[in-house]
Amino acid sequence: MCGIVGAVQVGGPPPDPAILRRMAAALHHRGPDDEGYHTAPGVGLGVRRLSIIDVAGGHQPLANEDGTIWVVGNGEIYNHRALRAALTARGHRFRTGSDIEVVVHAYEEHGEAFVEHLWGMFALAIWDSRRQRLLLARDRVGEKPLLYAPVPGGLVFASEFAALLAHPAVPRAVEPRAIYHYLHFGYVPAPLSAFAGVYKLPPARLLVWEAGAQRQQRYWQVAYAPKVSWPEEEAAERLRALLRDAVRLRLMSEVPLGALLSGGVDSSTVVALMAEATSVPVPTFSIGFSHRDYDELAYARLVAQRFGTSHHELVVEPSATAVLPALVRHYGEPFADSSAVPTWYVAQLTRQHVTVALTGDGGDEAFAGYDRYQAALVAARLDRLPAPARRLAGRGGHLLPQWGGRWSPWRRAQRWLTALPLAPAERYLRWVGLCAEEVRAALLAPAFAHQVAAERPAALLAEAWGLTAGGQPLDALLAADRELYLPNDLLVKVDIATMAHSLEARAPFLDHRVLEFAARLPARLQRRGASGKYLLKRAMADFLPEEILRRRKMGFGVPLAAWLRGPLARRLRETLLAPQSLRRGYFRPAVVRRLVDEHVAGRADHAALLWALLVLEEWHAAFIEGPLASPAPPARGPYTLSTRNP
């Protein structure tokens, strides 16, 4: 696991080594064990390394036999041993046991198709000096980040924003379109970034830069058809075998390894299969809250006891949000998923014991675990009703009281009914978005609204749904989350929070073979009634406690609404209502004041939107107005720590 940087220039001299080192220094947290550089006319590559595979000999950058092809890489190539054997049989000679070295020889052997042979999570840069060509590649799902910025006559790339912005040719100006999309999704969808002229390479993409021109191609796509017709038990057996192998591959490590355990089906499945594959207790790590609606520690303990893990816990308190400035600096652009806070702290706890941690990430997107899928499927069936009837139902939703907390049936019914009259993509966007469209429309300042009037966030969902044209309705929902939410939110959150603490996270559910298998399942094997993950639960029925299999999905969040009404209310007012914040030009000051007042007084729940505005303001202070510092060191946070050994 590493952080990578680089720059190329048509016919230019070697880049300034001091600039490369400054860029790489901003990634020290991603690779505290080692650093390396390669410079030559027209190119400079740099890397910070977290040593996990071939700890002693895997120094990067790595080259082919005659030094004409160089690579720097971030991530893990899980099938590197099989690739090494095949390439050795073809006459290639290896100098190290590093998984990244296979990339150089795979490129020699297969050309641009090399990336199709790699299994794993990765962001790679290859320099081919014979052709003066740079290739950038990102893994199939988007587990590892890669940013780039075209500059006059060249291109600059890096793993994180702080490193990219350390290059003097990369400007630091706000991209208004990105801010607008952020206010819908809570994240900036690729390829946009919050900085004008800076882009994220989307997942499963290969970028080729040559002679000052670049082109991109997508090298992998999940196929949702044809659907399989296996009997349930056979399908369950096949799934168990795939997950066993995915876990086995991700146990490859020369350093201590454990698991993040929430107590949900996904992370519990990973821990169960890890325990089956190892002869020593698996170190497991869990977080909880004093707010009961958000606390899952009891379930995590149940799983830890079942599999005899070495279990560690922490309880996050409201004052944990003091880490927000450090979070903003590491994420590099506005990122409003408030679960980044507990993820940060569980990563900090985990790194005190291990260097690699397996997670259950991707299980919901593969096996239809979210409750909103059922809501969307029911709404889709009602689209056959006359439009006036659906509009009437929507008006009725606005009349329902906003009683209760996160799981209140009133709140759920209101959100569902008010979205019913909308087109499918707009409806789903309302359910996954930060706030209702009418709230956002009232919030935006007229000049800013005019500037971004051509943007259509719902079109991004519709584009993802187009990948499943003619398929079952559930496929469209899964495609939307796999194309947007998974790579732009969930995986960004986990990568940045874990790597900030020099911790590598691995996700067996994101094995491309598992995703391809899940995509071809008929809906009856994905969901039964209101319950998701039908086949996964069937496959793990003999492994997991019944309480885990039957429990209602809780999700991973923080009691944000209560925090912003209580311990964080003062900070909310002081930040969002400060003169410099109200002068940004994005929002109507009177509406910002109203949103804050309504939420703090308990008359409405604007927590998700207000948190997004708070993060946006912190980002402006860190990256736009003040001098950009290196990412803040991991902050020690207010939490209660205990170690349990069931």
Q: Above pLDDT 90, what percent of the chain? A: 74
Please tell me the distance from the alpha carbon of residue 383 to that of residue 389, in angstroms, as a whole number: 10
Average pLDDT over residues 579-592: 94
What is the 8-class DSSP label of residue 484? I
Q: What is the pLDDT of residue 112?
A: 97
Query: CA angle, corner 272, sides to 270 and 274, nearest 5?
Result: 65
Q: What is the pLDDT of residue 554?
A: 67
Position with higher pLDDT, 345 vs 122 = 122
Tens digits of residue pLDDT in 196-208: 999 999 999 999 9
CATH architecture of 2-218: 4-Layer Sandwich (3.60)
Lowest mean pLDDT among 122-136, 160-174, 446-460, 468-482: 468-482
Q: Residue 412 — pLDDT band, cuts 50, 70, 90?
A: confident
Tens digits of residue pLDDT in 526-585: 999 888 999 999 999 999 999 999 887 766 677 888 889 998 999 999 999 999 999 999
Token representation of residue 426: 């707009």
Please tell me the distance from the alpha carbon of residue 424 to that of residue 480, in angstroms, as a whole number: 12
Average pLDDT over residues 622-627: 79
Query: CA angle, corner 576, sides to 569 and 315, nearest 5?
Result: 40
Residue type at 392 in one-letter notation: L
Q: What is the pLDDT of residue 100?
A: 95
Cα–Cα distances in angstroms (integers) from residue 536 to residues 230, 276, 369, 533, in the given order: 15, 17, 10, 5
Tens digits of residue pLDDT in 261-316: 999 999 999 999 999 999 999 999 998 877 676 668 899 999 999 999 999 998 87
Structure-token match 């009437």, residue found: 392
pLDDT(142) > 60 = yes
Q: Above pLDDT 70, what percent of the chain? A: 93
Q: What is the pLDDT of residue 394?
A: 79
3-state secondary structure of 497: helix
Highest mean pLDDT of the ranges 322-331, 383-392, 514-523 = 514-523
Q: Residue 401 — pLDDT band, cuts 50, 70, 90?
A: low
What is the 8-class DSSP label of residue 622? I
Residue 164: CB atoms within 10 A of its CB come to 23
Please tell me the distance from the alpha carbon of residue 260 to that of residue 221, in angstroms, as a whole number: 28
Position with higher pLDDT, 470 vs 249 = 249
Known active-site residue 435: no
Please tell me the distance from the alpha carbon of residue 136 to that of residue 217, in angstroms, as a whole number: 11
Backbone angles phi, psi at 370, to 5 degrees: -75, 140
- What is the value of pTM for the model shown? 0.93
Lowest mean pLDDT among 109-123, 178-192, 457-471: 457-471
pLDDT(643) > 50 = no
Tens digits of residue pLDDT in 463-517: 988 888 777 899 999 999 999 999 999 999 999 999 999 999 999 999 999 999 9
Strand partners, 46: 5, 37
Q: Residue 417 — pLDDT band, cuts 50, 70, 90?
A: confident
Q: What is the pLDDT of residue 402?
A: 62
3-state secondary structure of 331: helix
Q: What is the pLDDT of residue 556?
A: 66
Check: CB of residue 72 under 8 Å from CB of residue 124: yes
Helices (H), 332-436: 340-351, 363-367, 371-382, 387-399, 409-419, 424-432
Q: Residue 438 — pLDDT band, cuts 50, 70, 90?
A: confident
pLDDT(251) > 90 = yes
pLDDT(631) > 60 = no
Query: CA angle, corner 370, sides to 369 and 373, nearest 5?
Result: 105
Rounded to the nearest integer, the mean pLDDT of the chain is 91
Average pLDDT over residues 592-612: 94
Q: Which residues are CB-neighbours of 23 under 8 A, at least 6 positions away? A: 5, 46, 158, 163, 164, 166, 167
Q: What is the pLDDT of residue 420?
A: 85
Q: Residue 57 — pLDDT band, cuts 50, 70, 90?
A: confident
Q: Residue 327 — pLDDT band, cuts 50, 70, 90?
A: very high
Average pLDDT over residues 149-166: 96
Which listed residue (1, 2, 314, 490) is catalytic?
2
pLDDT(91) > 60 = yes
Q: What is the pLDDT of residue 641?
A: 34
Q: Exposed, middle or buried, 94 (CB in 10 Å: 0-12/13-18/19+)? A: middle
Q: What is the pLDDT of residue 322?
A: 82
Residue 542: CB atoms within 10 A of its CB come to 9
Token representation of residue 237: 């057996």
pLDDT(629) > 60 = no
